[in-house]
Structure 1
């Protein structure tokens, strides 16, 4: 049980090696009619998706798991206390560190904001670099410098997406301080952006930014595994960015993030230009999403007048060709899923490109905070 709690603290699957996405099996899947339409290898659905449903309320499943949440909370407080007392050490870098993360598990729209942050800082004269854990990557050699041609199975899908979209150097490793030192040494980066990592206290930071989805809030308000919280919701951060949601939960005020569809482009064609979503060859499409909150992706497409055949998959899912429909209808997927499906892309497969912007008021507050 202690091992389970500390795996939860590190946000990695219990019983699986670090960076290894667990294979679907009868042990880690459950049968839930709410996800009867989930299309993936094996039977049933992953336990984490079942838990996402349970985390919305303090129902039977959450209550049964609550004793583990108490143990998790105790372990979290002990770990935080050890850092506060200086028994566990945080690495202070010679450059500023900005951490963009969340207090809950699951998607909150963080990745587009990391991309925005990199461009924002670069356009103002900094040399930013991005560090990430490389979740889902199977590599046994770390740190790993990531490019848009890197294998997402080795370094993680989000890292490959960040490298391709941000235009700044990206390094992944469980030790974010080591990744940052490599960025400073190899690329002379003068400011570091940590993709996720609010709970990664071994890397000292200058600015903490929490991303929370409007309406989703903090679920039932309980810590893992009875709820979605990685740490208590009263934690102080420098900024809170609120992305579009659609749930019924309540969150505290923050800077509102605007997310826009830039267009779609043909997968597998590096020369393909973005085109308006209205120019797709058909209005009924297959929508594929292996992200933390696939419903947000689906709603975004429906708002543009598309009729969807939905294909939700678990976050960081490793696709095989047989899982993608091939009936002549267009297929649209997220950018993160696209980096994994490129090797077997077919004509008629498209990637939806989105961008996020937190607004001028946040820009001014951020610049004031970092001293420019």
Structure 2
């Protein structure tokens, strides 16, 4: 078993991290401190944009449900009269200079999550390593009055008006150790400084908003106009494909719908090829929406995506809207 396969078991299971991984924790902590030092000592200041910025992030490596929350937040802001745009690092893509997404943007170039967000919401999306530059590019081409940053909690160069941290309600913070011995990018004490905490699954604690991911429809990859209820696959054997941070969550959702699942877990942001979803039989293939944006070009008629939506209390979205209502242009 490779190290990449072992790490989730070390981080979230009972296997103790080997000493050499623990020895690298101070190195990671030192690099993190060095990265933030210019802002800590005032040599640099976070750059403000001309509209309020909402950062949606997490403390751990891997998926906690940030992207579904970004999509839900964009839709909720639109319902409340705001014109949102989205900026992202474009993880998994090859973009260095900031770039605006279009209808034909390739997930291999700009990242799978930005393509998914753009397709799901229709709002302007810009990607780039420099999120400030991406935000300025987007605002220079679109009339947005709020920006949502998909990830970026650990990006000190961008001034943010609201911070939202998503917590995995099932796996929480794993063994509670910093990288690489554990899954944490920042210590749990970072939660004390964020504006909102959202718990995806499990039981929300005091001060947290509860989020549930729900998916009840399957959409054909070869013909997106073809849709059917997920329950139509009940009692059938399917190949379930997930290249996300926590594939087990997707598999569990399918099993909860009464589906017989053959699991095919891939690394987060995996670059799919046709052979990855060809299993040599006539069983249908169900995959996440994030994976579908990378497989549509070579998908067979029996390949389906299962989009999920993030359900949160309306009071949470109202509170976020209230926070940005007092924004004054710098």
**Pairwise TM-score range, normalised by the shorter structure:** over 0.9
CA distance in 1, matches of 2:38, 2:14: 31
Structure 1 residues 85 and 128, CA gap change in structure 2 (3 angstroms): same
Q: Partner of 1:271: helix, strand, or coil?
A: coil
Q: Does 1:208 align with 2:163?
A: yes
**Preserved CA contact (<8 Å) 2:68 2:310:** yes
**Deviation of 1:62 (Å):** 4.4
CA RMSD of aligned residues (A): 2.0
**Deviation of 1:258 (Å):** 2.2
More displaced, 340-349 or 253-262?
253-262
Structure 1 residues 243 and 118, CA gap change in structure 2 (3 angstroms): same
Q: Partner of 1:138: helix, strand, or coil?
A: coil
CA distance in 2, matches of 1:346, 1:110: 29
CA distance in 2, matches of 1:214, 1:62: 26
Structure 1 residues 124 and 205, CA gap change in structure 2 (3 angstroms): same
Aligned to 1:303: 256
CA distance in 2, matches of 1:169, 1:207: 20
Q: Does 1:120 align with 2:76?
A: yes
Q: Which runs of 5+ in 1 are unaligned?
A: 1-30, 32-44
Aligned to 1:92: 48
Structure 1 residues 139 and 74, CA gap change in structure 2 (3 angstroms): closer
Aligned to 1:349: 303
Q: Give the alignment partner of residue 149 of structure 2, picking from 194, 203, 206.
A: 194
> Using CA pairs below 8 Å that are at least 6 residues apart, which structure has the higher relative contact order?
2
Q: Partner of 1:55: helix, strand, or coil?
A: helix
Q: Partner of 2:308: helix, strand, or coil?
A: strand
Q: Give the alignment partner of residue 241 of structure 1, picking from 176, 195, 198.
A: 198
Aligned to 2:213: 259
CA distance in 2, matches of 1:369, 1:49: 41
**Preserved CA contact (<8 Å) 1:282 1:329:** no
Q: Which runs of 5+ in 2 are unaligned?
A: none
**Deviation of 1:296 (Å):** 0.2
1:1-372 matches, within 5 Å, as 31=1, 45=2, 47-56=3-12, 59-139=15-95, 142-235=97-190, 236-244=193-201, 253-272=207-226, 274-280=227-233, 283-324=236-277, 325-371=279-325
TM-score of the two chains, using structure 2 as the length reference? 0.92
Q: Partner of 1:234: helix, strand, or coil?
A: helix
More displaced, 188-197 or 354-363?
354-363
TM-score of the two chains, using structure 1 as the length reference? 0.82
Structure 1 residues 148 and 302, CA gap change in structure 2 (3 angstroms): farther
**Preserved CA contact (<8 Å) 2:234 2:258:** no
**Which consecutive segments of 4 or more residues in structure 1 shift more than 3 A?**
57-60, 250-253
**Deviation of 1:349 (Å):** 0.6
